[in-house]
Structure 1
Amino acid sequence: MRKDFFNKFAELTGKVLEHLKGIALVMILIIAVLGVIVGYKYYRHTQEDPQFCMSCHLMKEAFTEWYEGRHRGIICQKCHQLSILEQNQLLAAYVVRGNSKTFSQTHGREKPWTSCKECHMNEAIQGSLTLNKSYGHARHVFIQKVVCKTCHKGALHDFHPNENACRDCHQDKGVHGLGMEAFSCLKCHSYSEKTPSMVPKDRCVGCHTDMPKTAPMSGLLCHQCHKPHGEIKPKPAACVSECHQNETAVGQHGLHMKKGLDCLDCHKSHVWTVGQDKAKTLCTRCHPYKEPRKFIY
């Protein structure tokens, strides 16, 4: 009888254990699913939610600058990325030191500068220009291998160009004379310009509004005659040596130049044409009036 009791007890115990085993498997499965869900949400929070950055009180100012800036549509983690090793080092440092003001904030700061090209290469976003459609960027980034942070400030998400950075490389490019000595480089040079000079004409005429628009040489760029980094006021001899080499053989130009006259003695800058009204007062300073057309032919 005792033997039968032990056999039934063993049989019952086996069934209970079998039942508990099934429950344990179900519980393990539930815990695993919950772990995956929580882990996924945690991953999304840490890797795709800017609010995660705000969990550190040291980020308040930087977060505000980002929220009010042009990169607001891009999450923090798109630019600020850490490797698994860096993340664990950061976690260990946080556990040891706590959330104090002496806590290192250097994490993830260099990565953004290597990620700029990922967005600013093939499409224009946030009103900016692409690298491959701007001569200024093409020249500095691809030819001279200048990194973005050399020219852009990058202080608390302010990525405007640092106008003082130009002089660090171009020390011999100061502006000389005519009240433009205090101008910053970007006052005239435009990175959006598609010509090697990086100086669009509208930058000049934006200030010099009295320039005629229909004069014979109005189609030229201003800096073809004016050299802000050298002789900003062109010398008359440069007219002949650089462009008008054949003018001495046209009409009476050669004769007048042999008399000691230069181009600007007769031609007014930016107007150039000598019409009848102008000739009546200009030519008669030296000789009796003659029809201007006879000067050429």
Structure 2
Amino acid sequence: MTTITVDSFTTSADGTRIAYDLTGPTPGLAPAIVVIDGVLAHRLPVTLAVASALGDRAATLRYDRRGRGESGDTPPYSVDREVDDIAALLEVTGPAALLGISSGAFLALRAAADLGAGVTGVLCWEPTYDVASGEPPTDPRMIAGVEICVEVGDPGSAVELFLDVVGMPCGLLPRMRESPSWAGLEAIAPTIAYDGRILAGITLGHRALMSRWHQITQPALVADGAASAASVKRAAESLAAVLPAARRVTLPGHGADVPPEAMAEAVTDLLRTVGGP
């Protein structure tokens, strides 16, 4: 029978407490999948639905990335620390596949490169950046602009700035500010810059992912939705082309609208590839 453990915690290498929940069989008795959310998201209802659809086929661990939900946050931020968080979660599950959503896909790939055999496979759901484009992977406002807004105590403007970066029409902002979810977005506004740094790390720095694709030898699925935008499809195709052991898959729907059962089947497909059910 599927069970859910709520409000469990582990501790990362720098002492930060990381909150997670676990759905399905006891880790070690079934393959495991760790869900890595994208920008401004944590433990979304849709990923709980995917975990429920997986049932006893997999132990599904969802967690609050540092600075979100019930997890702590220890400055200064670095992508290495987020990889350490994943390593701490793998102490709970044992070797596991990673499901990276949107910008979380690139954190999953960084973890796959850094953690080696601890990561058994990666499912990249609608990655946000076309790695073949030659364009900068992130708008500078997503880092410096957001950090300035947060520093002066205006997290709402940080969220607005990010929404402008991703192209949300300004006419929708008043309605968003009045929505019940707005306070939650402001609470995790500092983490927008964290995702900005993850995206920047695709091409920048001495450990840039762009020079490490060959190290990500784990089986990978790069997935998008049948109704997703052409830019999303281009990004998925470009990423699948550079990963040594990647396959492409397209699921019905798009984004958060993909049927949980379809995503669960994609996860199961990946787990079969790495020796699961």
- TM-score, reference length from structure 2: 0.20
Q: Which has the higher contact order (CA 8 A, sep 6+)?
A: 2
Instruction: Tell which structure's C-alpha radius of gyration is larger.
Output: 1
- TM-score, reference length from structure 1: 0.19
Higher strand share: 2
Higher helix share: 1
